[in-house]
Amino acid sequence: MMNRNMLKQAQDMQRRLAQVQEELAQALSEGTAGGGVVKAVVQGGNRLESIEIAPDVVDPEDVEMLQDLVLAAVNDALDSAAKEAAEKMGKITGGLNIPGLM
């Protein structure tokens, strides 16, 4: 049986987790590729917000390179968002892996 203090701690943790999840949903994370010639920004770790491509990297003869750079920048941004989420959630859960949080 859970005592009142444990119940209060669980409720506080739940409230803090909900707050962090809301913050993470709004957070912007940036990723880059090719030394910064391609930049991608994602919101909440799952929505691509913007792509910036330096004009000098656009080569009609080498579209594959540009595609690879865009892919790398987006994946870098997603990785950054996932890392930030894990760090913020870990601070609240004390490193416990709670299914369904991320």
100 in any annotated domain? no
CB 25 within 8 A of CB 44: yes
pLDDT number for residue 97 = 60
Number of domains in the chain: 1
- Confidence band, pLDDT 50/70/90 cuts, at residue 25: very high
Q: pTM of this prediction?
A: 0.79
pLDDT number for residue 30 = 97
Q: The domain containing residue 43 runs over which residues?
A: 4-92
Summary mean pLDDT of the chain: 89
97 in any annotated domain? no
CATH number at 14 reads: 3.30.1310.10
Query: Among residues 8, 36, 18, 30, which one has the least CA distance to residue 75?
Result: 30
Q: Using one digit for the tens of pLDDT, what is the confidence trace for 38-81? A: 999 999 989 999 999 999 999 999 999 999 999 999 999 999 99
Query: Among residues 75, 97, 100, which one has the least CA distance to residue 21?
Result: 100
34 in any annotated domain? yes
98 in any annotated domain? no
Q: Report how far residue 33's alpha carbon sits from residue 21's, in angstroms, rounded to the nearest whole number.
A: 28
pLDDT number for residue 98 = 58
